Each structure stands twice: as structure tokens, then as C-alpha cells.
Chains A and B, each alone.
Chain A
């Protein structure tokens, strides 16, 4: 049941050709061992349909991926005797995405395994925190586009975005046009970057 696949996507082609063995498969997601593991037992979960970035992935698929990532975590722990797992999504080139097909990484961990995802916590002013809080809260309150709209009208993303932009301009007194353009630009920017990935 492959709906949207991208002809240029190597992973889509590999799935289509059944080029490698799978750990799990259903109508929506597949799970397999990474060929270039960050640690022994590194597992990848991807949607069967081709999505590039998180924002394109329908909610039910995102939930499914999280669910299977959780089950894989337990399997990794029990079958491989690992001490912990990281679940990592890299959304956008700036976030370390190196494959144009959206994926969940499940990375088994052990103490002193040479991996470190920890960050240096930054100091941040109360005023900046407040500003961020209101911006994010505001954006989260916006009317959410129904997922079937996004799924079926993948080509008409600008239209979907416009719905959000309308919502924005109703609540704030900002500019209609510039917000709409910004939305398109943000998403297109991510996609454009990813098209450059071989």
C-alpha cells in the first residue's frame, strides 16, 4: 500500500525493491537495522510513505512511529542487553538530518560507549524566557490543519499554510502576507535543503 513515494528517494526505492530484511512491517511503518550504526543495534523506523520533514508526517503516523520506537527500545534492552536507549529525530539539515526520508533513530546505549548527546546548558534571561513563552504559546494555540488535508493535498501545502496564516492574522495585528510567506519559506527552506542531499 504505497501511496506517496519519491522517485529520487533511495530509501523508498530500497523499500520498494525489498532490498534489505526488516525487523517489523505494517501498513504504515517499517523498522530495520541501520547499515551505518551509531552504536551496535541502531534501529531505524520510517513511514512507508515518503515524507521529508516532521511537519509533513500525519499525526497518526507520528504516533505510530513513537509507539513502535518505544517497543523497539524495550526489545533492544531485553534482547541485546543494553542499558538504555536514545530516540532521536533530526528534522531539517540544521538539526543534523542527512537523509531525505523522515526517520526515527533508536540508538542503544551503554555506559562508556563513546557516545554523548548531552549539551551544555545555556544561561537565559527571564525576559527572553517570557518572550519565548508567549511566542510559542501563541503558535500552539493556532487552529491546526486537519491531517487528511495535509496528507491528500501534499502539493497544495501553501494552501494549507494559508489557513494557519489566516488564523495568525486574526489573532495578532500582524501582516497577512508576510506571515504567509514566512510560513512557506520556512517549510520550503527545509525541503530545499534536503533536496540537495544525494
Chain B
């Protein structure tokens, strides 16, 4: 996924999130395929999603299903489109079983670079399978000790409740999120996984995609002279190792931690919020928060 070499990293770093998004869209192969600018073997299309054959497939008949609008990862995609993607995947799986006499199918999603995501545009893979086809999505079976199980379960169920509650009008966030961050602090003290290395995830979505020098982009900071908004730094700001939302002190929007724009915020500018309400006093909401 490379872009024109004459766009410098400098130019990209100076772009606002909207400009960057537009630029990424203009460079996105799959957005061009959708419009027909780049030819493809389309097998399905409706108002929200479309599917094409992979020309370098895992197996013949490997289908790439994606939303028509440009999104990079699943959490950015509106709920109704998410549901529609999966029900369409079911249709495609059925078509592969019938039409290609496949013996099974895999539905596969890679969210983020560490998970094997290579494209900037979100893709849901539907892969026809036959015995001894040389592929494997079989999952290894590790062990789970009861301490870990308890820790993971507590952290995950609280976080999941908070995420689900955010969608509701009467916010249950006040009580729950507080617990979540306390829990998380305990976890990190207990030697749990360290702070997510967001720069690594950002590598996929950073300026590196538009030049060949992926090494250099890791750990890139927002350029200090960049943002126009002046933030009153005397305002009390909640800062913790494990906040729920993050923003740059020098920029407009606040994001979820896993937002591709959030990962580019330098440590010195990074500020965390536990609650949307707090964040919204100082920042505008990024699209990633809306989902």
C-alpha cells in the first residue's frame, strides 16, 4: 500500500485528521476498486458493502468483503454496517460451499498490524477450505491458570459493560468507568501487560504507508508547531496510565485509545480522560468515539 513518493512525511504530519483521512481515502486501493477506477473481480455489491475475489488468494475463491465507506478497523464501523458485514459473510460462505464445492469456510478478520492487517481498508476475509489445502486457522490450545482467568474476566467484563453502556442515553458510565480504571491500575501494578505500544499499531496507519521508510515512522511525534487550537493548560486534566479516551493537548479532537489518529500523539502531548463529558469540555469528538 504505497503512495506517491513526493508527499513528504512532513506534509503528512501537518495535516489535520480530516485531511489525513481524505488523503488516505484517495490513496486507498480498495476505495478505487469500489468506484471502478481500478479493475477487480467483483462478486457482490449492495448499498453498504462490496466483495471481490483476492487476486493473490489463500485459496482459489478467497473473497474480500468490505464496507463501501472507508474505515480502517472494525471499531470505527457503524453498528448496522458491522452486522450487515457479518450477515453478508454468511451469504458468501454459503455461495462458496455451493458454487465451489468447498468443504468448509473460514471467516477471518485482522484488526491492527499486530494481528496481520496489511490493508488500510477494513477487510473481512471469507476463505473456502478443503482438506489438505495447506492452510490452517486451527487454534492452538494453551492453558489458563485461575488467577489469570479471574483477572482477565474482571477487567474484560467491566470494560465491556462500560463500552456497551456508552451506547445508551442514560449513562451508567459514572460509576462503572471509575471502577474500570481502578481495576486497570491494580492490574498494571500486579505486573499485567504494560501500556499498549500504540506506536506499533500506528505504524500501519502512519506516514510510513506513503513512503517506503517504515522504520522511521515508529515513534513519530506530532509536530509541535502543528495545531492551531490553543488549550488552556491551567485546566485540570485527568492523566492516568490507563485512561479510556485520549487527546493531544494541542489538537482539537479526542479519541479512543485504539484510534489510528490517537496512536500518533506524542507522549508529551498525550492527555487521558475517563469520561466523555470531561473530554468534551476541551475537545471535539473523533468519529472513532461515536461507534
Contact = CB atoms under 8 A, between A and B. Distances in A.
Interface in A117-150: 117-124, 128-130, 132-133, 135-140, 142, 144
Given A33-B144, A92-B129, A109-B115, A79 B158 contact: yes
Nearest to B108: A88
Given A36-B142, A40-B152, A80-B156, A70 B75 contact: yes
Interface stretch (B10-18, B22-30, B187-195, B226-234): B187-195
Would you call the interface of chain B mostly helix, strand, loop, or mixed?
Answer: mixed
A73 B98 contact: no
Interface residues of B, number: 96
A50 to B, nearest CB: 17
Q: Main SS of chain A's interface residues?
A: mixed
A17 B197 CA distance: 40
Contacts of A128: 60
A37 B82 contact: no
A36 B56 contact: no
B209 to A, nearest CB: 16
Nearest to A39: B142
B3 interface: no
Interface string A64-84: 111100111111111111111
B111 A86 contact: yes
A77 B106 contact: no
Nearest to B288: A74
A72 B94 CA distance: 26
With a 10 A CB-CB cut-off, give which of B54, B60, B140, B159 has the most chain A CB atoms: B159
A116 B137 CA distance: 9
B251 interface: no
Given A79-B156, A87-B108, A88-B137, 4 more contacts: A80-B192, A91-B107, A111-B114, A136-B44
11 contacts: A23-B153, A33-B149, A77-B257, A86-B110, A88-B106, A92-B103, A122-B58, A135-B100, A136-B61, A140-B91, A187-B97
